Amino acid sequence: MKTKVLWVEDSARLELRNLTGPIYISGEYDMNLAEDATTAVRYLLTKEYDAVILDMRLPPGIDDYWVKIYRDKGEDKADARLGLELADWLLNGRTDFPSKPPIWIKPYHVGVFTVENDPTLHTKLEYLKIKVFEHKVAGLLDTILVAIINRIKAQKPESKNGM
């Protein structure tokens, strides 16, 4: 059975060829790409994933909820950190969101792949119990997404009883 992956990345089209090549070539993954928060939520509410890889800097998409957060934070992807807002909804079930997060998602399903690497982000990820983090820097191997997926999968409990 293929590993189901959702990569939430605003510049996925630019990075698609280099970083997803090893994923598609291997034939081991069923990957969906979401380039904004609205699309990510749509995928997360309709399909269960083995690994969800989040960027912190995302545009809102068309959903009014995400547009409002984006505007409230100054309409800048770096300041809005919609990826972090998305993780907070998924793992804490924010009550102000129009729908409940999917029941299947746990911190061990989620990893972060972002250009941001400041202590406040790491503190927030620790609070959310997200342990897989990869800082985007120049010169990363083309197999970095495969490595992130494998790190996410490695932390999954062995049985459903451990959830």
Q: What is the pTM for the complete model shown?
A: 0.90
- State yes or no: pLDDT of 162 exceeds 50: no
pLDDT tens track for 92-109: 987 788 888 999 999 999
Give the separation between CA 134 and CA 136, rounded to whole angstroms: 6
What's the CATH number where 158 sits? Answer: 3.40.50.2300
Pair 102, 116: CB distance under 8 Å: no
What pLDDT, on the 0 to 100 scale, is given for residue 93?
80
The tally of domains found in the chain comes to: 1
Q: Which amino acid would we find at residue 71?
A: R
H-helix or E-strand spanning residue 31: strand 29-34
Which pLDDT value is given to residue 48?
96
Kind and range of the H or E element at 40?
helix 37-46
Backbone Cα Rg of the chain: 15
Report whether pLDDT(158) > 70.
no
The per-residue pLDDT for range 28-69, each reduced to its tens digit, is 999 999 999 999 999 999 999 999 999 999 999 999 999 999
Comparing 65-79, 100-114, 134-148, the range with the smallest average pLDDT is: 65-79
In angstroms, rounded to a whole number, what is the distance separating the alpha carbons of residues 151 and 109? 10
For residue 17, pLDDT over 70 is answered with no
Whole-angstrom Cα distance, residue 70 to residue 80?
A: 6
Instruction: Return the higher-pLDDT residue of 11 and 135.
Output: 135
Domain of residue 129: give its range.
3-162
